[in-house]
């Protein structure tokens, strides 16, 4: 499945002992249950290696990261801890649908 392939790709990357793991849209095209699993693994991995995630699924991403950046039209418009971004009105309206 797509989720298993993503996990395998991440495992392969980790075998090289990187200091930074870059994940570009890790949830793209996955079933919701697999998205949760991918981000559960990201939460576990962040204890071992620095991770840079680009992700459209802001809700899941903010559950898995320490800090976040909102990029609009190629510019960083907001940054902060995951908790700060979850509490930001612009993020809540524009990205979380709240």
* Measured distance CA(83)–CA(63) in Å, rounded: 9
The SS3 of residue 69 is strand
Verify that 70 and 55 share a domain, yes or no. no
pLDDT at 18: 93
Verify that 30 and 77 share a domain, yes or no. no
Q: Which of the 8 DSSP states describes residue 71? A: E
pLDDT at 55: 92
Verify that 24 and 2 share a domain, yes or no. yes
Verify that 37 and 79 share a domain, yes or no. no
Q: Which of the 8 DSSP states describes residue 97? A: -
Please give the helix or strand (H or E) that residue 58 lies within, else none: helix 58-64
pLDDT in tens, 1-29: 777 787 788 888 889 999 999 999 988 88
pTM for the whole structure: 0.79
Verify that 13 and 54 share a domain, yes or no. yes
pLDDT in tens, 48-90: 899 999 998 998 999 999 999 999 999 999 999 999 999 999 9
Please give the helix or strand (H or E) that residue 87 lies within, else none: helix 82-87
Domain count, the chain: 2
């Amino acid at each position: 499945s797509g989720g298993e392939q993503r996990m395998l790709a991440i495992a392969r990357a980790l075998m090289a002992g990187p200091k930074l793991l870059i994940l570009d849209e890790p949830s793209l095209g996955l079933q919701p249950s697999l998205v949760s699993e991918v981000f559960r693994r990201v939460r576990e991995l962040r204890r071992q290696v620095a991770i840079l995630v680009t992700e459209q699924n802001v809700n899941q991403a903010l559950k898995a990261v320490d800090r976040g950046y909102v990029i609009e039209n190629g510019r960083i418009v907001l940054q902060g801890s995951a908790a700060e971004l979850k509490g930001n009105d612009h993020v809540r309206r524009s990205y979380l649908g709240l």
